[in-house]
Amino acid sequence: MKKINFKQGIRKDLSDTIFWRSSWESNFARVLNHLQIQWTYEPHRFWLTGKISYLPDFRLDSPNPWKAKWIEVKGIWNRGDKSKLRRFINLYPQEKLKVIARKEYKKLTLLYGFLPNWEGYSGKRRRAKLSKQTAVKPNKKFTLPSTPKPITTIGGAYGQDISKNNPLLKAYALVKKKK
């Protein structure tokens, strides 16, 4: 499959009419679809002053893990973006806004990079690297400790032979047989 590496444009898997401003936003929409969260892309413009407005990326219309009504996906912070967000929060305190920045987007990529039509880095290499780091690598060949022959009459009910039901002793016996 050919790798898609474009930022702006229409994504047929999401909508035939929405013009996406970035691949991060379209990937976030794929996450919302996967989580079955109802959303609307750029539905409302908030006026901050006479000429300055703010247009959040998503309105979430159902309960969601971010506990927010508005989502802003920010890959690149342009001049004035932070002041716009501060003004929005001050002028509209009743509106809950969550910013998905680079750190949280990378986490989403690790969790949901497997989704169909995911654009850009899917997180496969990072997941593989993490699994290699967390895998236990023994320094030397594993061997069972040498133990004396088990005393079979102690610990059993009325002198029963407990070696038949003890999995560790069974494993020890198998290793001894192979030698």
Q: What SS3 class is residue 40?
A: strand
Average per-residue pLDDT for the chain = 78
Structural domain spans, the chain: 9-126, 140-179
9-126: CATH number: 3.40.1350
Note the pLDDT of residue 86. Answer: 93
Distant-in-sequence contacts of 50-57, Cβ < 8 A, 24+ apart: 52/84, 52/87, 54/84, 54/85, 54/87, 54/88, 56/88, 56/97, 57/21, 57/25, 57/28
Integer angstrom CA distances of residue 96 from 4, 79, 87, 112, 170: 33, 23, 13, 24, 61
Whether 41 contacts 68, CB under 8 Å: no
Residue type, 32: L
Give mean pLDDT, residues 98-104.
93
CA dihedral 29, 35, 37, 42 (to 10 degrees): -10
CA distance 35 to 71: 15
Q: Note if the pTM is more than 0.85.
A: no
Q: Residue 46 burial by CB count (10 A; 0-12/13-18/19+): exposed, middle or buried?
A: middle
Note the pLDDT of residue 167. Answer: 59
Q: What SS3 class is residue 72?
A: strand
Structure-model confidence comparison of residues 156 and 9, the more confident one:
9
- pLDDT tens string 4-62: 444 788 999 898 899 998 899 999 999 999 999 999 999 999 999 889 999 999 999 99
